[in-house]
Structure 1
Amino acid sequence: MAHYGDELTLRLSAITDTRLLDDDQALTTFMRDLVDRIGMTVIAGPLVATEQGPPEKAGKSAVVILAESHAAIHTYPHLREIFVDIFSCKPFREADVLAEFHRLVGDYYVRERTLTRRGEEWPRDLHAAQQHWAALSSVHD
């Protein structure tokens, strides 16, 4: 048994060029380009929403639902920051993710970074999954 997939979370700060962080069409295109570059399959979206409010809370959120899971970003142009969350059962390269953000905003500083192996010991085949769940349910009976 292996893990289900990887989840990459990032906080990008000190963004050089914030012009596109408040542009619905640019973020829609960016999300498509991002998931294409990391080899994922879009099943819904991208969807872009605007968060109103004071400058420190105003920005955009963009999400795409993938056959492999999801990718989401939250932009804060006035703070020159982006939060990123990519979760996938299919392996992907962090370097490709970072390169796409360089294309969108130029230079930035990776202030926070976490790569988490999700679903440790997740069964990959149906027979193993059935055995796993049967064993768990017998423990809880």
Structure 2
Amino acid sequence: MIVLGDDHYGDELTLRLSAISDTRLLGDDTALTTFMQDLVTRIGMTVIAGPLIATEAGPPEKAGKSAVVILAESHAAIHTYPHLREIFADIFSCKPFREADVLDEFHRLVGDYEITERTLTRRGEEWPRDVHAARRLWSTHRAALSSGT
């Protein structure tokens, strides 16, 4: 399980899934809308906007779909490339979530796949949870930038 500590804002999981066994739904707006809704529901996030689906036309190696959901906890986005049998995914949240749940939802969408790239990054390591501390940190940062230090 991805666990958030008190010393950072949240975790970002990025994935590149390759050798996708079933690419039929990677170009289907309705299927991708349902997938994004199911994914964020399963990991316990709250949708503010979306899913928004966009089509990238062009040569087959660049053609695909992008889907994004704006969450109260941050965002979830995917980019599909049916011709290449690949998906890129980015889930960023200030709320803990299980990576296994994310991977299971992708299995439900496309069947088998290989995880070609996987990164879990702790974001906002110095992010204070106290609003007043955040304001002081930002003010100090801006002052340092304006003085050239």
Structure 1, gaps ≥5 residues long: none
The Cα shift of 1:101 comes to 0.1
> Given residue 69 of structure 2, which amino acid in structure 1 is its aligned partner?
V
61, 68, 72: which one aligns with 2:73 = 68
Q: CA offsets, 1:64-84, max 9 Å, x none? A: 100111100000001100000
> Given residue 133 of structure 1, which amino acid in structure 2 is its aligned partner?
W
The Cα shift of 1:22 comes to 0.5
Bigger mean CA offset, 131-140 vs 37-46: 131-140
Give the Cα separation in 2 of the matches to 1:59 and 1:138: 44
* Superposition misfits of 4+ residues, deviation over 3 angstroms: 133-141
58, 65, 73: which one aligns with 2:63 = 58
CA RMSD of aligned residues (A): 1.4
| 3-state SS of paired residue (1:39) | coil
76, 96, 100: which one aligns with 1:95 = 100
Q: Residues 1-141 of structure 1 correspond to what in structure 2 (within 5 A)?
A: 2-137=7-142, 139=144
TM score, norm. by length of structure 1? 0.94
Give the Cα separation in 2 of the matches to 1:25 and 1:58: 17
The Cα shift of 1:139 comes to 4.6
Q: CA offsets, 1:44-63, max 9 Å, x none? A: 00010111111111110000
Q: CA offsets, 1:110-139, max 9 Å, x none? A: 000011101012101223223433444555
The share of aligned pairs that are identical, in percent, is 82
The Cα shift of 1:91 comes to 1.2
Give the Cα separation in 1 of the matches to 2:112 and 2:142: 50
